[in-house]
Amino acid sequence: MKPYISIIIPAWNEEGSIEHTLRHLQDQVDLMYNPGMRIEIIVVDDGSCDKTYEAAWPWADKLIKHERRCGKGAAMQSGVAEARGDLLLFLDADLRATAGRALVLIEPLLRHEADMAIAKLPPPRTKAGFGLVKGLARRGIRRLSGYETEAPLSGQRAVRADRLRELGELRRGFGVEVALTIDAARHGLRIVELDVPITHRETGRDWHGFMHRGKQFAAVSLALLSRWKERKQLWYSSDRSSI
């Protein structure tokens, strides 16, 4: 069976990056082209206020636009709904010249060695936060699923479409990656993490950076809380059924 890969890119106000990301991604897709592989690029504009849609239009095979901002998870879910591929690759919109390197994440799935592959990115060039969000996400994933991860927040990941759909709809908002890792581990998906030299926009130790990380901390906390409630409900239901 010929592999069919759907690359899904959620984007919000990425007018300055999306064209560069898609152009470099398309260049790499062209280089790896072979007659036995089909690839589509799907961009989901999550209610941008700038010209993200117009910048992405020449480079995307499918372009979806939300009328209002619904959150990263909802944008990813819209992409999944339109995807025809049996392998899905999720990428952030700000990877620019390094976007094509993420295609290596597909390889463990093609070899049937994994159901999900997650990119471990290089350390940031400059010191930004204090590791609170990443630490919270790692501990939460371990406690709620038993899976030890080095890349709890990575948005660059490939997953088999059939296994992803077993998990149900993706969580809305920016806690989507944390919730997805927990769900995948709980459902027995084989997960691998690969070092991939990808870079994206970094936030510094300024007001904007602290605001961004504060929102991220809140989103991750809510994602962990939702998965904790689900586990608690399963325990309760199990106890009730044994009476």
pLDDT tens digits, one per residue of 9-33:
999 999 999 999 999 999 998 887 6
Is residue 55 within 8 Å of 19, Cβ to Cβ?
yes
Is residue 76 within 8 Å of 95, Cβ to Cβ?
no
Which is higher by pLDDT, 166 or 240? 166
Q: What percent of the chain has pLDDT over 90?
A: 69
Q: How confident is the model at residue 130, as a pLDDT?
A: 63
Q: Is 136's pLDDT higher than 70?
A: yes
- The pair of structure tokens assigned to 151 is 């890349």
Q: How confident is the model at residue 90, as a pLDDT?
A: 98
Q: Is 100's pLDDT higher than 90?
A: yes
pLDDT tens for 163-174 read 999 999 898 777
Query: What is the CB-side half-sphere exposure of residue 111 using CA atoms within 13 A?
Result: 10
Dist. CA 37–CA 27, nearest whole Å = 15
**Sign for the pseudo-dihedral over CA of 94, 96, 101, 103:** positive
Look at 179-183, 213-217, 229-233, 235-239 and tell me which has the smallest mean pLDDT. Answer: 235-239
Specify the pTM: 0.89
Q: How confident is the model at residue 123, as a pLDDT?
A: 81
Dist. CA 113–CA 109, nearest whole Å = 6
Across 41-65, average pLDDT: 97
Residue 112 phi, psi dihedral angles, 5° rounding: 60, 35
Q: Position of tokens 């991939």?
A: 196
Across 140-161, average pLDDT: 96
Q: How confident is the model at residue 230, as a pLDDT?
A: 77
Q: How confident is the model at residue 204, as a pLDDT?
A: 54
